[in-house]
Structure 1
């Protein structure tokens, strides 16, 4: 059996097959995969992570494809994590994103991995962060994370990416979608894709109006904090004095229009973070979110094992609760108290 350290060594050497196997094992929660991830961890933290999120049908995959091409033209290696809906029949990812990115399939400087959501809310698979770590360890300069497109639950990407691009599109009620999704909180850049369609001007005006409303409500410039939550800037600061307001870029991904401007906006945000110390703050926020996620998983697993040992299997306990023979709140309190003891 291949040890975690040997797989990690092969990943660090850039071996694609080893990386693909590790990503699969991490997604399947296979024994030994975590050991390899631990071995890789000290060699991560160098890649720049860009998240693309937005409503289904906004053209995120097409934009991702164009961003890959741009970065490759600049000599950068690229990793892509495309989170697809999970098939209700096979439990695997519906690989639509890979189909749309076939132009890069044979490029050794590009690694594309599709993941199924496995029923996970938030727009990301539970294994997305792990796969990003593997791509980082492989030496990818830029990692693009494309979310599944599930509306207002799709904000977890803010805990993973340095720069979040929110993709809107005319004709899908994006003004309403934007408000519901809280994208004013997480967007670093807005891309109005399919901007050749009727209604693009209105979509841009809606986004501009919401940004203006935000400035009016708070009364002075604001800024995203490390976790992409919006907070007030220091009194007296103006936008030109160092705060960041998300730019709005029009794109037509299928014709490669606006891609250069979108990349320029992303690069400007990256420079903004690196010059002002914001990248370190976001790395800390990412680490906090990842640690809490791992801790939560450990605690839940430990609680379920304790439950089975002392109160019976989860299904049996659930049957008692459904029959109103047990109080779920009392059982949870009892179990939590035993775990704390």
Structure 2
């Protein structure tokens, strides 16, 4: 691995006062280029611009995928990753679906740890904050031929991460637009999945909502995802979340929440849940919570769900009664090294991986 250090760090402590997500980038980035059927030796260099032409393949045919991860700093100053093997697994699953090359484990894992070690001062120690990590791969061949690219760039960017949402959200159930369809790329972290969601989200915001709860494309009957999150519905004391499928992203946070909930003795069901079931539970006073989970947001308890012409208001439960808030604290405590890690999810980033 080639290391090219920045001459003078751009870090200042006030960067941790930032309130916008994904705009304060750390000093370095990792790059590896795929050409002639192989990946180049990765290089870590100062974060900055790259040189492309308007003919770059990703701009025309959309071969772009990414992951969302975080680095956490514990009370002792140690820096941790959270289940990075699952992100690599999903990144390569996405790559396969979009006919892109696989990322070797040594480039991903060794590069990730070296990059974080080099910029560990950028990892905030404030509870709930983190350094967001964005592994991304996209087609770079200078060609506008409609085919898979022959050249790609794999990069890892890092940015200081305050709370993704600074308030509980209200969400609108989709009854026309769809995020994904059977046989499509809904399970992949494909860039186009997000582009296609922006317009329906814009319409929901015009109605006074923050995000969209996506439903199945065929009938708009079953709850699937919400914005950038997997969805959990709590009816009485039972927590329900949809099973993953061709249409639903297999979220690392979702998977972890299920295991944490079971460890806490919470009754969890992974099954299809209909919009009507949620609506009926609300009408009967049995709908206790609906919340979204994801790497960036962690957990966001919704204050309202829009269903047809109705707005289903949800009670803001105290922290000792809300499953979403209880599980969020359990997860963040584990990620930041405050609590024990009985699952083996936490990976410490050793110091001095990069020579001075």
Question: TM-score, normalization: structure 2?
Answer: 0.29
Choose between structure 1 and 2: higher helix proportion. Answer: 1
Which has the higher relative contact order, 1 or 2, with Cα contacts under 8 A spaced 6 or more apart? Answer: 2
